[in-house]
Chain A
Amino acid sequence: MSGHTQTAAAPAASGTTAPAAVADRPLVEVDGLIKHFDLGGHFLQRERPTVKAINDVSLGIRRGEAFCLVGESGCGKSTLARIVMGLLDPTGGAIRFDGTRIDGLKHTARKPFHRRMQMIFQNPYASLNPRRTVQKTLEEPLRFHFPNLSDADVKTKVEQVMVSVGNDPSWGTRYPHEFSGGQRQRISIARALMVDPDFVVADEPISALDVSIQAQVLNVMMDTQEARDLTYLFITHDLSVVRHFGTRVGVMYLGTLCELADTATLFENPRHPYTRILLSAIPRISTEEMKPPGLPGEVPSAMNLPSGCVFHDRCPLANARCSAEVPRAQCQADGTLVACHAVEEGRG
């Protein structure tokens, strides 16, 4: 990414700025987050059916790190990302960005945070407006957040960002359908970077792409992180990507956080039984035949959560305590957080 500078035609964010943050305070704090989706149901029903998508999840995303959130479909990882971005309102708990509580902020009060937090979506075929040229798509966030910029400045900025993610600036006059999946995803990344955010949420940004293209997009994301000192929240189900890309990893299962660890620690020494099973199931280049992961049954419905530890009915180490008491996240000697009675008691 030679030649890229942060000069940016964009001036510093106007409006509210956070109080001088302590350097070691996480950039994004998720505190006791709860999200229940009300499914309506019949008005005479005593208990309205609710999907308990996220149940008391707390985590902090440190400045400059790539925080990965992994888990299988329905574990609540995308819901968490959407709540952090303000696309959904939490049922309980708080989200803080740079020390300021941002959940529940009204539109105008939230606007400066919209600039500092940007998102990249999974499907680059759906997330770019097919009727707009690339130039128009890229200009919009800039004109929205910095209405006073001159046309020339906007143009320079678009070119700068396009070059910084490895795109040809002459693509501006073309439409999304003229590009391949990887190129479109790089345009989405450019769009997210237009307003010089501090924090980027990427929800499965490479899952829809071919293997050879995944590497291109991951490289661009790593380069821009370095060049711009970005903080990432990376949502994925692909653990091999996490191993390569993540600074720290949170593992989610059925709306709860099972384990949170440094990437290297998690892969070398997974503690939570679910994490262990998940890691053993990753396909790898090997002549060894694929084995069943030893995970009986299926993920229970989030409308009817198991009592105690949500994983207990599938866990090889579960006992009576696990079905009665919800495990709290305990900090281990190396800083890893694990929510598991068996780990706490040294069972298994």
Chain B
Amino acid sequence: MPLLDVRDLRVEFPTRHGVLTALHDVSFSVDKGERLGIVGESGAGKSVAAFAILNLLSRPGRITGGRILFEDRDLATLSRADMRAIRGDRISMIFQDPMMTLNPVLTIGTQMVETLKAHRDISDAEARRIAIQRLGEVKIPSPEKRMASYPHELSGGMRQRVVIAIALLTEPALIIADEPTTALDVTIQAEIMSLMLDLCRTHGVGLILITHDLAVVSQVTQRVVVLYAGRVVESGQTARVVQNPVHPYTRGLLSALPGEGEPGARLNQIRGSMPPLTAIPPGCAFHPRCDYAEERCRVGVPPLDVIEDHNVRCTRARELIRGVAA
């Protein structure tokens, strides 16, 4: 039984242009202590998936189908009060911009103690003790002193560490991190990501890492889901997917990375750009950008099939694997 099991999740936004479907029957699961990557470009629906799990979709967005099973409960049907008890307690979230999480006018200590006391019936002294311990775990130098600091006194990397410490306060079972290192420099990114790897392991926390960066995903996660225009196009073991991509979109993304090819050569580009939700083409949403598209790609949406060792949503997947598609 996985820790989190998302089945056929459907999220819709009714607008004056009609109902926009941000997620179409998206399924994935995370086991206890497992690290899952959700990859996609802007607008693919990766953040919507995170917000849907936490029941934080902004209006008029709503879940119109599927289940989100977490510790034997369906989060999609919980009352607001029940959800509030889970959010920030059993499931924590880390955002791209630490200043979105941190209150600029309160000290780090106040925010941490407040968070803990909102979820646990403990004394101030006890809450402080736990907060200092967590700051130490995320390798913040002299944590007692830092308790009295305001967020603006810290660097970007330190702020993100504080956010991770806050996420760990209540010893959650699952952390959802939405582009947690996108705004940081590479050396700090490597620092923070290896720290998160360690913490997931030592605390047995499950991690959902949402990012556009396939390289980071390959070095941090065990399984990956690739989203395109609100649908899973490929998913499976991270190592298999990045070494052996099948879907033309995944293949395109990987071969578009500048670090991988011959220096100075033209990069393999995917032509065009991802369609907005208002203009998703019929059939396979990727077909207008796909080099292998045929007539049948323009009609039905292909199913997510198990092919070799992972799941692929492509009509021509078998031909692509055999290398016979042109």
Contact = CB atoms under 8 A, between A and B. Distances in A.
B242 interface: yes
A124 to B, nearest CB: 13
B186 A281 contact: yes
Contacts of B214: 211, 285
Nearest to A212: B270
B208 to A, nearest CB: 17
Contacts of B42: 210
A149 interface: no
Which one of B156, B213, B256 has the greatest number of beta carbons of chain A within 10 Å?
B256
Contacts of A212: 41, 252-253, 256, 269-270, 273-274
Interface in B200-244: 212-216, 218-220, 238-239, 242-243
B79 interface: no
B158 interface: yes
A263 B262 CA distance: 13
Nearest to A72: B185
Interface in A260-279: 263-264, 277-278
B254 interface: yes
A152 to B, nearest CB: 32
A277 B242 CA distance: 25
A151 interface: no
A348 to B, nearest CB: 19
A67 to B, nearest CB: 14
A116 interface: no
B257 A211 contact: yes
Given A180-B273, A212-B253, A278 B258 contact: no
Nearest to A241: B258
Contacts, number: 147
Interface in B266-283: 266-271, 273-274
Given A281-B190, A290-B216, A215 B269 contact: yes
Nearest to A299: B155
B83 interface: no
A212 B39 CA distance: 13
A245 B259 CA distance: 10
Contacts of A293: 187, 190-191
A263 B189 CA distance: 23
A239 B155 CA distance: 22
A292 interface: yes
B320 interface: no
Nearest to A222: B266
A178 to B, nearest CB: 12
B186 A285 contact: no
B197 interface: yes
A289 B215 contact: no
A215 B215 contact: no
Interface string A292-313: 1101001100000000000000
B256 A215 contact: yes
Q: Give 9 closest A-B pairs by Cβ, nearest first.
A: A240-B259, A244-B258, A283-B215, A72-B185, A215-B256, A215-B267, A210-B41, A215-B269, A212-B270
Given A72-B185, A212-B252, A223-B266, 9 more contacts: A212-B269, A240-B215, A264-B263, A283-B218, A289-B219, A290-B190, A291-B194, A295-B187, A299-B155
Interface of B: 41-42, 155-158, 185-191, 193-195, 197, 212-216, 218-220, 238-239, 242-243, 252-254, 256-261, 263-271, 273-274
Interface of A: 72-73, 180-183, 210-216, 218-219, 222-223, 237-241, 243-245, 263-264, 277-278, 280-293, 295, 298-299
6 contacts: A212-B274, A239-B259, A241-B258, A285-B257, A289-B220, A292-B190
